[in-house]
Structure 1
Amino acid sequence: MSSLAEQTRWLDATGQAALVASEEVKPGELVEAAIERIEQLDPALGAVTARYFDQARAAAVPAGPLAGVPFLIKDLFTDVAGQVCTSGNVALKAQARPAEADEPLVARFRAAGLIFAGRTASSEFGTVPTAESAAWGATRNPWNTTLSPGGSSGGSAAAVAAGMVPAAHGTDAGGSIRIPASCCGLVGLKPSRTDRQRAVESVQDLIVDLALTRSVRDAALLLDISRSGEGAAPAGGYLAALGTDPGRLRVGLLDTRVDGSPVHPDCAEAARSAARLLESLGHHVEHGFPAALGDSTLDRLFAAFWSSGMAEVLGGLAHQLGREVTEVDVEPLNWALGQLGAEVTAADRQAAREGVAGFTRSVTNWWDEHDLLLTPTQAEPPLPSGTIASDPADPLAPLRRSQHFSPFTPFVNITGQPAISLPLHTGADGLPIGAHLVAAPGREDLLLQVAAQLEIAAPWQDRRPAL
């Protein structure tokens, strides 16, 4: 690896941009360094599904706060001009139709100076928390290549954790930024849903985009960029708010499953050690969580919601392909969900919408008396590759296994709240384990202020995989 590729490998996006701003490094040199790292490191990981190196090299000399910084876009429901989006699906991969224009968020990232060098792996349609698909195979975790990096933004997480790029795009409909951030030792911020006043009509309404990053400051800056023109950020932006003292916060701690059954000891300790750290910083922590999280009657309503959402995805797939979708076009889980969704009635959908609205009110009322909820990010350490795999004999098995692995993240997408996974803990086997903090709707500023406090108190930047 060249000296520049090695010199810039572990810098965050802000640090790489500073080299360009000071004219120590040219934007093209940063891009070439990232290309070199991808070519050298990705064969062992399978994180980058498509390489757009010629596009990256030809990008105009950029301006903006992240001028010249190399970046990767998740291969899931996100259009980039001139690039193919497969969403981890074999039929879309075979079609290979490039997009004509950027998605709005992609356009904002591009305007901020980011250079898109390629696409990163996801599970098919992002349904399960892995980066394994029939279209692209399995992505491996840089900390241990026999393990999954989590998902569905696992390709982005693996690429950032390995040092290919300083940050990469992610999407989150149930934990898909936060879970791989935990599995790969990164910062994973899931922002608030910006249109929280609108009724949630489908699973698509739960998806938010941002990125996997190495630092809290990068997460704040990318959030500012993503919200540019919307007026949602505090005065001066989220990055400027990082140094503000959040005051003494009231934090609820959930270090078991909601029903009281235990999680893996390393995951429980990730939450407990974060609680001790918060207390050392002057915050008040006590056991507690929204009681509504234990309402098992919601399972039936949400099942209707998720399955009907997959029916919509398969309908969109048929439109993209210009033909009827058949069972060979999608993986068994998604086909089964789509078939169930096609049977969901209008009454079922209305009940699901009402259930979501009532659940959201019940959960978020807890934040009237609290500032943050602290949990492990997931209930188990990173799983062996293939643990959550398609099973034609039991198509819904991957969904059940996913729910067991990750019980703490999905509710936040239903309620539209912001949440963040921070790489504060290392398990007994040396693997990163994330701590998960949830704030009230719209309080990314508070979440990021506390995250910045924790990053200073227990820095993680020197913890790197050996790959």
Structure 2
Amino acid sequence: MDASGGLPAGRIVGLPATELATRVRSGELTAVDVVRAHLAHLDAVEPRVGAFRVVRREAALAEAHAVDTALTRFAMPLAGVPVAVKDNVAVAGEVCTDGSAARTGPPETRDAEVVGRLRRAGAVVVGITRMPELGLYGATDGPGTVTRNPWDTARSPAGSSGGSAAAVASGAVPLAHGNDGMGSLRLPAAACGLVALKPGVGVVPGGIGADDWSGMAVNGALATTVADLTVAHAVLAGEEPGPLEAPGRPLRIAVSTRSPLPGTRADGPARAAVDAVVAALTAAGHTVVRRDPPITPGAAAGVLTRWMAAAADDAAHLGVPLADLQPRSRTHARIGRAVRAAGLVRPATAERFRERMVGFFDGASRTASPQGPTASVRGVGGGEVLDLLLTPVVTGPPLPARPWHERSFAANLTANARWAPWTPAWNLAGLPALVLPAGTRPTGQPLAVQFAGPPGAERRLLWLAGELERRLPWRRHAPVFDPAGASSPAPV
């Protein structure tokens, strides 16, 4: 305790969001003290990371005071928890730029629904995080700034929710909002040693750009523990937070390391991470089968056309002329205009692909090679019904931290596609997918794996992530920026 009877700042920063909220609800901590401590840590780490476009010091302290004096504080699941919000959803009183310097105002007059849900749960918005222009790319940088990965500042925290991931991994906030149109939550989570869930379509309110990237983009959160992510997901989804139900039986989990993009493959450490998770799953009694999902060239084309169109659609939505965009984004948006004009963004493409991927889990295919217990359930197509799929996330270490916005559209496209081929399919299918840490590379950067599931599998994904967190605990913050100083594994 300090002289005032409260915990010193060093004992506040680094606590999980669930523990902070418990202490604020009980009165052991005040929301003002929690926010003030995190702002001090943010000031210390931000010059080396560059996670925030806006830090809301006075507004955040005022909002924290409102939490402390609220009669409903005892019922707030995120009471007093500092959070960061990605710069492509509305925060009342702030300008939403979508990562573009060409977007200068006016300030938003009301919160996006997901921001409103966080606030009503007691969370305090301490800042707006950086992102690449229009959220289009897998590294986070822009004119005058390069956001850096707290685990290795020579590397990017990925994108497009890179600022949010860097903020959490450096301990500046315990939770951050982000969104995912082709991996924009999962890739930063993988790069920064965090856990993130891309919900299925329709589970969490959207409001991302013009049309949620033709339905591919969804809102979610980044966290250091599964418990924190579970509460954040419940809040964003408008659900009452509660314990995750165990399935009551071993799960049947497919594993695939084949890249959806020909000519790319996971490197040795990434494959070893998958193998380590497979070993943990089989040791826990789950059945693991080798099976590749049916990701076709047509699906890849469906993702690509929506990604192209998103640049043109969102620039128009923001009122930003194409001439004012970065050169790479300008080229991107011009292609997107042509894609829209040609009618290449077809809803039927996503619908057919979703049906195919749901069939993959429902047992429409017979091809499988089991590991672990062999008892299985057969689907109507004669194949084994699958609960989840395990894959790598990326092919290697994060991209270098450099001004990618100064490079060509082709250079950005090539680098992004080669590094992250496993995430976009689940956006087109509208199915849930989760990324969690799975060790570290010999060079020190985090490793990660991805689980995906059928419609409605969000809680199953979170439950399994919690099981793996207990069996394979991970360090919660980047070593250099760890508020605790020493190793901080996830609580068990």
TM over 0.5: yes
Q: Which amino acid aligns with 2:175?
A: A
Q: Deviations over 1:329-361 (max 9, x none)?
A: 1112221121112223566336x3222221221
Q: Distance in 2 between matches of 1:366 and 1:375?
A: 14
Q: Which residue of 2 aligns with 1:305?
A: 306
Q: Distance in 2 between matches of 1:345 and 1:335?
A: 15
SS in 2 for 1:119: strand
SS in 1 for 2:343: helix
Please say if 1:225 is aligned against 2:229: no
8-17 or 39-48, which deviates more: 8-17
118-127 or 265-274, which deviates more: 265-274
Q: Distance in 1 between matches of 2:196 and 2:78?
A: 19
Q: Distance in 2 between matches of 1:466 and 1:300?
A: 41
SS in 1 for 2:165: helix
Q: Which residue of 1 aligns with 2:252?
A: 250
Q: Which amino acid aligns with 1:46?
A: G
Is the 1:423–1:432 contact (alpha carbons within 8 Å) kept by the matching residues of 2?
yes
Q: Which amino acid aligns with 1:267?
A: A
Q: Distance in 2 between matches of 1:115 and 1:333?
A: 35
SS in 2 for 1:436: strand
Please say if 1:4 is aligned against 2:14: no
SS in 1 for 2:50: coil
Is the 1:142–1:184 contact (alpha carbons within 8 Å) kept by the matching residues of 2?
yes
Q: Which residue of 2 aligns with 1:100?
A: 109
Among 309, 333, 342, the alignment partner of 1:338 is 333
Q: Distance in 2 between matches of 1:182 and 1:334?
A: 25
Deviation (angstroms), 1:202:
6.8
Q: Which amino acid aligns with 1:123?
A: P
Q: Distance in 2 between matches of 1:32 and 1:308?
A: 42
Is the 1:289–1:373 contact (alpha carbons within 8 Å) kept by the matching residues of 2?
no
Q: Distance in 2 between matches of 1:307 and 1:260?
A: 22
Is the 1:172–1:209 contact (alpha carbons within 8 Å) kept by the matching residues of 2?
yes
Q: Which residue of 1 aligns with 2:175?
A: 167
Q: Distance in 1 between matches of 2:410 and 2:189?
A: 25
What is the aligned residue count? Answer: 440
Q: Aligned ranges for residues 267-306 of structure 1 at < 5 Å?
A: 267-291=270-294, 293=295, 295-306=296-307
Q: Which residue of 1 aligns with 2:378?
A: none
Deviation (angstroms), 1:18:
1.7
SS in 2 for 1:118: strand
Q: Which residue of 1 aligns with 2:77?
A: 65
Is the 1:264–1:381 contact (alpha carbons within 8 Å) kept by the matching residues of 2?
no
Q: Distance in 1 between matches of 2:268 and 2:403?
A: 20
Q: Aligned ranges for residues 260-409 of structure 1 at < 5 Å?
A: 262-291=265-294, 293=295, 295-318=296-319, 325-327=321-323, 329-344=324-339, 348-349=343-344, 352-368=346-362, 369-386=385-402, 388-391=404-407, 394-409=408-423
Please say if 1:176 is aligned against 2:220: no
Is the 2:256–2:293 contact (alpha carbons within 8 Å) kept by the matching residues of 1?
no
Q: Which amino acid aligns with 2:472?
A: A
TM-score by length of structure 1 reads: 0.89
Q: Distance in 2 between matches of 1:361 and 1:416?
A: 10
Q: Deviations over 1:119-144 (max 9, x none)?
A: 1111111101111122x521111111
Is the 1:187–1:216 contact (alpha carbons within 8 Å) kept by the matching residues of 2?
yes
Deviation (angstroms), 1:272:
1.4
Deviation (angstroms), 1:256:
3.4
SS in 2 for 1:164: coil
Q: Distance in 1 between matches of 2:237 and 2:462?
A: 15
Q: Distance in 2 between matches of 1:81 and 1:462?
A: 31
Q: Which amino acid aligns with 1:317?
A: L
Q: Distance in 1 between matches of 2:459 and 2:248?
A: 9
Q: Distance in 1 between matches of 2:87 and 2:125?
A: 12
Q: Which amino acid aligns with 1:127?
A: L
SS in 1 for 2:168: helix
Deviation (angstroms), 1:195:
6.9
1:307/1:260 CA distance change after superposition, 3 Å = closer
Q: Deviations over 1:212-250 (max 9, x none)?
A: 10111111111111122xxxx6xxx563225x2452111
Is the 1:252–1:373 contact (alpha carbons within 8 Å) kept by the matching residues of 2?
yes
Deviation (angstroms), 1:158:
0.8
Q: Which residue of 2 aligns with 1:43?
A: 47
450-459 or 332-341, which deviates more: 332-341
Q: Which amino acid aligns with 1:336?
A: T
Q: Distance in 2 between matches of 1:377 and 1:70?
A: 28
Q: Which amino acid aligns with 2:39?
A: I
1:107/1:201 CA distance change after superposition, 3 Å = closer
Identity of aligned residues (%): 32
Please say if 1:449 is aligned against 2:463: yes
1:274/1:343 CA distance change after superposition, 3 Å = same
Q: Which residue of 1 aligns with 2:440?
A: 426
SS in 1 for 2:443: coil
Q: Which amino acid aligns with 2:78?
A: L
Q: Distance in 1 between matches of 2:438 and 2:340?
A: 45
1:213/1:201 CA distance change after superposition, 3 Å = closer
Deviation (angstroms), 1:165:
0.9
Gaps of 5+ in 2: 68-72, 205-209, 363-384, 482-492
SS in 1 for 2:83: strand
Q: Which amino acid aligns with 2:130?
A: A
Deviation (angstroms), 1:314:
1.8
1:195/1:354 CA distance change after superposition, 3 Å = farther
SS in 2 for 1:152: coil
TM-score by length of structure 2 reads: 0.85
Q: Distance in 1 between matches of 2:52 and 2:169?
A: 13
Q: Distance in 1 between matches of 2:277 and 2:132?
A: 30
Q: Distance in 2 between matches of 1:162 and 1:286?
A: 37
Deviation (angstroms), 1:396:
2.8
- Structure 1 consecutive aligned stretches of length 4 or more whose deviation exceeds 6 Å: none
1:438/1:330 CA distance change after superposition, 3 Å = same
Q: Which residue of 1 aligns with 2:125?
A: 116
Is the 1:202–1:305 contact (alpha carbons within 8 Å) kept by the matching residues of 2?
no
Gaps of 5+ in 1: none
> Cα RMSD (Å) of the superposition?
2.2
SS in 2 for 1:421: strand
1:457/1:463 CA distance change after superposition, 3 Å = farther
Please say if 1:145 is aligned against 2:153: yes
